[in-house]
Amino acid sequence: MEKFVIAPHFRLHEWVAEEKGYFADEELDYVFNESLLSKGGKKHDLGDKVGAYQTFEAGRSCDVSAACHWTVNVAAASGHGKLYADAYSVSPCAIYVHPDSGIKTPDDLAGVPISVGYQSGSHYSTIQAMEQYLGRDQINLSYNDGLLFARMEKLIDGDVPAASLFSGPYYFLDQLGFRKLLDTTFMMAGMITGDPDPSQIKKYYAALRRAQCDIDLRPELYTHYYKREFPERFRDQMDVRYFGPGERIVFEKYSELMFNESRDWVSERDIFPDGDLGANSYTAATYRLDAAE
């Protein structure tokens, strides 16, 4: 049997499961594909309108990865993998501005470019949060600033006026004194690629469940792992005592109701060109262990 290929996604769980030997306990023969990690952060500079969805279109070289549930939903319905439906996760996220920007409330962002990852969690969650304050025609999203660390660097360097950030950058910008203008949140989902053995999927998530308990109980023991994925430029500045647990995995079903309501929300906002959200049904687009075994 080939090694099970895992793509870490800016969260603590995989690192904790490896440190504590949970993958080994489950007898999971695995390897990490750290394709989005880069000491210089350059792998997050993907150009105009290239985000999480486009990486699924291109094909991810792993058995399991993750992204926001909206993107995984549409990618799975379009045949680029299958959404793992036996768990989902929730990540804190926020829109940040420079403390000297003069922008003090979400209403002040009318017409101001907000840097987000195109068709990624920050894209959808920014719309979701900002619609409480502004009309859709007043929300100005900038899509050409790259993935998570590229957007963080551009905000720190003053190249963008506002950015939506999650995971380690969410805590780092707090540490540096940037203004958190609006807390947001978004769900993430796992994406199963190819045809891995169902027993491997089960072992992987069993290890993550144990890791989640450790993170819940003593997050301060594990926040140092954020440094594994940060650009080297910032590592000496990071005070991980300031950092929190980040994404939390919820071991409940990503239901058909969630699947359909999310698609309706995306469709109403014309986030995908020509309204193409894929034709696969919930049953065809999702990976459920009880159906796979």
Please state, rounded to an integer, the average pLDDT across all residues of the chain: 91
At 195-252, the pLDDT tens digits run 999 999 999 999 999 999 999 999 999 999 999 999 999 999 999 999 999 999 999 9
51: left (phi over 0), alpha (psi -120 to 50) or beta: beta
Q: CA dist 83 to 18, 75, 192, 253, 280, Å?
A: 24, 8, 6, 11, 11
In this predicted structure, the answer to whether residue 162 has a pLDDT above a threshold of 70 is yes
At 69-83, the pLDDT tens digits run 999 999 999 999 999
DSSP letter string over 83-128?
EEEEEEEEEEEEEEE-TTS---SGGGGTT-EEE--TTSHHHHHHHH
What percentage of the chain has pLDDT greater than the value 90? 80
Task: List domains and CATH numbers for the chain.
Answer: 4-292 (3.40.190.10)
At 284-293, the pLDDT tens digits run 999 999 877 6
Mean pLDDT to the nearest integer, 90-100: 96
- pLDDT at position 63 is 83
The torsion defined by the Cα of 131, 135, 136 and 138, in degrees rounded to 10, comes to -110
- pLDDT at position 194 is 87
Separation CA 282–CA 136 (nearest Å): 29
Which of these, 249, 229, 251, lies nearest to 240 by C-alpha position? 229
Location of structure tokens 């990490």: 32
Which of these, 150, 11, 185, lies nearest to 163 by C-alpha position? 150
254: left (phi over 0), alpha (psi -120 to 50) or beta: beta
Model confidence band, residue 9 (pLDDT cutoffs 50, 70, 90): confident
In this predicted structure, the answer to whether residue 275 has a pLDDT above a threshold of 80 is yes
Model confidence band, residue 110 (pLDDT cutoffs 50, 70, 90): very high
At 21-67, the pLDDT tens digits run 999 999 999 999 876 555 554 544 555 555 565 665 555 567 888 89
Q: Tell me how many degrees the CA angle 87-92-97 measures, rounded to the nearest 5.
A: 155
